[in-house]
Amino acid sequence: MNAITLRLDSQAKEPLYEQIYQYIKSEITIGRYPYNTKLPSKRQLSAYLQCSQNTVQAAYDQLTAEGYIISKPKSGFYVCRLDGIISIKKESFVPQKQTDSKLKCKYDFSHQGVDLYSFPFPTWRRINKNVISEYDTDLLKTGDPQGDINLRYSIADYLHHSRGVNCSPDQIIISSGTEFLFLLLIQIFERDKIYAVENPGYEKLNLIFKSNGAEFRSIALDEYGMIPEELFKSNADIACVTPSHQFPTGVIMPINRRLQFLNWANEKAGRYIIEDDYDSEFKYSGRPIPCMQGIDGGEKVIYIGAFSKSLTPAVRISYMVLPEPLINIYKEKLSFYICPVPVMDQKVLCQFINEGHFERHLNRMRNIYKGKREALVTAIRSLLPFAQIFGANAGLHLILKVNNGMSEEELITSARKNGIRVYGISQYYFDNAPANRQPLLLLGFAALKLSEITEAVGLLKEAWG
Amino acid sequence: MNAITLRLDSQAKEPLYEQIYQYIKSEITIGRYPYNTKLPSKRQLSAYLQCSQNTVQAAYDQLTAEGYIISKPKSGFYVCRLDGIISIKKESFVPQKQTDSKLKCKYDFSHQGVDLYSFPFPTWRRINKNVISEYDTDLLKTGDPQGDINLRYSIADYLHHSRGVNCSPDQIIISSGTEFLFLLLIQIFERDKIYAVENPGYEKLNLIFKSNGAEFRSIALDEYGMIPEELFKSNADIACVTPSHQFPTGVIMPINRRLQFLNWANEKAGRYIIEDDYDSEFKYSGRPIPCMQGIDGGEKVIYIGAFSKSLTPAVRISYMVLPEPLINIYKEKLSFYICPVPVMDQKVLCQFINEGHFERHLNRMRNIYKGKREALVTAIRSLLPFAQIFGANAGLHLILKVNNGMSEEELITSARKNGIRVYGISQYYFDNAPANRQPLLLLGFAALKLSEITEAVGLLKEAWG
């Protein structure tokens, strides 16, 4: 390989490992280190750069995590192909604190979680440091019940430009998690409304409604999402839908069906649509469809979003946009609830958005997830020819229909025996799943490494083939 | 492609690569570089801009990572399709500081808030910096629904040593704010229990119960707290009390009355006491009385606490200790609720406690508040001889009975005219306050400066004297 021209700058904002990582990534990307180039050993490189081996290790781990290089046992690190899919052994990079049963499996296609190697920690750390200031007495006060006004401005801007949502900061309520937003909604509607939920759907919705004495009906889906006729037949007042990427089926609701629902809501006072846009940030193909809130002009749609998928679920920040009459009810009856998100966290997020880091992070993540999604689709097409893919045009999971004669339970169990965790759709049905239903599996890909995906699908092939 | 009109500014705050990145991104976004436009090679562009090729490389890398351009091997960099690229423009708005009417008064005896000059910002900042680590994948995951297990251990230790609470970390649920803990309790008890609340009492309790369809009875107080006979007469199952420092009257419940309540609870299955220890950290005189949870051994008492008074209300962290049977119901029915406190904040607080800073902070604050309380009591005794003080042995507020013939309303209004905000007790009655009641005012002293207190009381003397 070529000479290393990097000079580490210990004064730079970026940590040393990051400088090494950036340098090598750049050399690989521009082709100066072609496929199969052997990188210097950690000892050689640390001696040459006069840094610790741990620093080099961290850089190599990061490069490995993103699939730029591969570690060959007893030989060293080699440059990967950048276009193709690679298959590597599990790294010991992830600190494993939890000892739950998930860790016993080799690869987990859970739909929860995000990419574990792309969170902008240095930026987040820097902004936190800025925000924790002895001169900011806001940090010693309760804060606005609807959430920090500046953060609400930033969210309104973001929603307007990226999702076509039409709202003022005054209509936004910031909370911690979608669940708490639903708790507020149930109180706004005073338990005298009937909710319609997608079936199959987000498993917590029925638990929340049940647990809080709110009536609900589960409505079947077809290939375009919730079936309007079924909704119309029910006596529901409020339809809870996930039109951008139905959970769990991955269906993107077409524009004319969205209009059907909006017309239904407009037919009668007191009818509303709750549009949960939980992973709308990631769309990979097809024309973008405006969110229902934007089509409607904001009169009949309660729009819900969160930073769980776009940043990390550990930052518990979600929000909803309420139509004018509902925000008035909230202010009159419910503004005694203190905003559950710590003031400091709201300020950090606000600065993160305003300095442009959120936009960059989203675009970067979209590329990363697009790569993972393509790797998964490619591997499935070549290794599991008896399986069909659905719902892969958006979001962080897809649906697999496996036509090999096995039941959903058998598919899950045999995958599990081969070290892979996959999830059946059955658990997302509120009543029993239809008896003659084809087995469907939910495969999340956000938290898997790009380099693991082909091997994981290979293990599924062994299990099901 | 069009001419590059960029001029790099080496004096600017933004690094050179950032200027190139921003320029090209903007040209692509506004459509001046359409899809498939070939960008100049790094060599060309660096020669033209008179910067290093690495600088151009860094800009191209960033654009590639965010999906604006793509590198085609042996050909160069090309503009991508912009489908799905997110661009957040800032609307023109001036960040707002709140200018509520509170700022117009000179001194505010609000019971909310804490001392504004004693929060350990440097320590908090340092711990935040430590906690935000790229090697901690917990920061990218949802976390334990009951709250971080290490924080629960720390809270259990703290409660055991400082409050005599008897519990294991497994019995603790961490949440954001007392309100959300009550929302969980209402769901645990499934809306078929009747709650007894202190009257006057914590103003939000009745709002929460009402808003969530839970039945409650308000129970009168005497000079020792909630009147047992009134509770016994009601058909309530669950008594909500603040024995350490009744809110708002400041009464400390004596031990024999605590035992009366515990006996009542033990007489019948399904009876419980909710002990809200909201400002128990600060006790200034008299013998310490064990908390009810500690007397009881933990079978009939739900213990609630928070860090709002002891640290800052802006850190939204509260917790409750549930008796064994209730924690089992929670685990079975309600553990689907994700803990609303961000994982990072939980880790920061945990480290803050474990390194001994919380204990030091509490002891320091107790001294500070003791000084403020003494200044207030001294000033009242010398300047307002016609007033009596109650409930000043603990907590961050006291009660003033003003015997000058003015009504509560008149006292508040005349103080307000003299630049002082004080609060009447009437607003804390759930029904109408008793007609023949003496006017009582609530004076919080935590957020006032020690040096301001005598002057503030002097202004009250002018208003009422």
- Predicted pLDDT of residue B385: 94
Min mean pLDDT across A16-25, B72-81, B165-174 is at A16-25
Residues in chain B within 8 Å Cβ distance of A97: 138
Contact check, Cβ <8 Å, B312/A140? yes
Judge if the upstream peptide bond of residue A248 is cis by omega within 30 degrees of 0: yes
Cβ-Cβ pairs closer than 8 A, A with B, add up to: 225
How many CA atoms within 13 Å lie on the side-chain side of A434?
10
Count the neighbouring beta carbons within 10 Å of the beta carbon of residue B6: 16
The contacts of residue A144 (CB under 8 Å, 6+ apart) are: A339, B98
- Predicted pLDDT of residue B102: 47
The angle at the Cα of A9, spanning A8 to A11, to the nearest 5 degrees, equals 155
**Residue B73 touches chain A, beta carbons under 8 Å:** yes
Contact check, Cβ <8 Å, B211/A161? no
The contacts of residue B229 (CB under 8 Å, 6+ apart) are: none
- Name residues 258-287 of chain B within 8 A of A (Cβ): none
| pLDDT of B288 over the 60 cut | yes
Contact check, Cβ <8 Å, A140/B62? no
Residues in chain A within 8 Å Cβ distance of B135: 95
Contact B221, B391 (CB under 8 A): no
| Distance from the A114 Cα atom to the nearest Cα atom in chain B, whole angstroms | 7
- Predicted pLDDT of residue B6: 85
Angstrom distances, CA of residue B272 to CA of B157, B182, B195, B301: 24, 14, 9, 6
Residues in chain B within 8 Å Cβ distance of A207: 336
pTM given for the model: 0.83
Contact check, Cβ <8 Å, B88/A113? no
Mean pLDDT, residues B364-388 taken together: 92
**Residue B157 touches chain A, beta carbons under 8 Å:** no
Mean pLDDT, residues A129-142 taken together: 91
Angstrom distances, CA of residue A419 to CA of A389, A422, B13, B140, B148: 22, 10, 51, 23, 28
DSSP 3-state of B139: helix
| pLDDT of A455 over the 90 cut | yes
**Residue A103 touches chain B, beta carbons under 8 Å:** no
Count the neighbouring beta carbons within 10 Å of the beta carbon of residue A172: 24
Contact A340, B337 (CB under 8 A): no
Confidence of residue A279 (pLDDT cuts 50, 70, 90): confident
- Predicted pLDDT of residue A149: 95
pLDDT tens-place string over residues B258-280: 999 999 999 999 999 999 998 88
Query: Which of B67, B74, B134 is opposite residue A367, by nearest beta carbon?
Result: B67
- Predicted pLDDT of residue A219: 96
| pLDDT of B134 over the 60 cut | yes
Residues in chain B within 8 Å Cβ distance of A370: 67
Residues in chain A within 8 Å Cβ distance of B126: none
**Residue A362 touches chain B, beta carbons under 8 Å:** yes
pLDDT tens-place string over residues A50-101: 898 889 988 888 777 666 788 888 889 988 776 532 222 222 233 334 444 4
Contact check, Cβ <8 Å, A353/B315? no
Mean pLDDT, residues B195-223 taken together: 94
The contacts of residue B15 (CB under 8 Å, 6+ apart) are: none
- Predicted pLDDT of residue B94: 52
Min mean pLDDT across A167-171, A212-216, A433-437, A452-456 is at A433-437
- Predicted pLDDT of residue A164: 87
Mean pLDDT, residues B429-451 taken together: 86
Mean pLDDT, residues A449-453 taken together: 94
Closest chain A residue to B177 measured between Cα atoms? A340
| pLDDT of A35 over the 90 cut | no
- Containing H/E element for B65? helix B53-65
Mean pLDDT in chain B?
Answer: 90
Min mean pLDDT across A76-90, A251-265, B311-325 is at A76-90
- Predicted pLDDT of residue B2: 63
Angle, helices B357-383/B450-464, rounded to nearest 10 degrees: 30
Cα B412 to Cα B417: distance, rounded to the nearest angstrom = 9
- Predicted pLDDT of residue A90: 25
| pLDDT of B290 over the 90 cut | no
Contact A298, A167 (CB under 8 A): yes
| Distance from the A386 Cα atom to the nearest Cα atom in chain B, whole angstroms | 31
Cα A47 to Cα A62: distance, rounded to the nearest angstrom = 20
pLDDT tens-place string over residues A317-366: 999 999 999 999 999 999 999 999 999 999 999 999 999 999 999 999 99
pLDDT tens-place string over residues B20-65: 988 888 888 888 888 888 999 999 899 888 899 999 998 998 888 8
**Residue A440 touches chain B, beta carbons under 8 Å:** no
- Predicted pLDDT of residue A92: 28
Residues in chain B within 8 Å Cβ distance of A344: 314-315, 345
- Predicted pLDDT of residue A83: 52
Residues in chain B within 8 Å Cβ distance of A285: 83
- Predicted pLDDT of residue B390: 92
**Residue B345 touches chain A, beta carbons under 8 Å:** yes
DSSP 3-state of A154: helix
Residues in chain A within 8 Å Cβ distance of B71: 29-30
Mean pLDDT, residues B167-193 taken together: 94
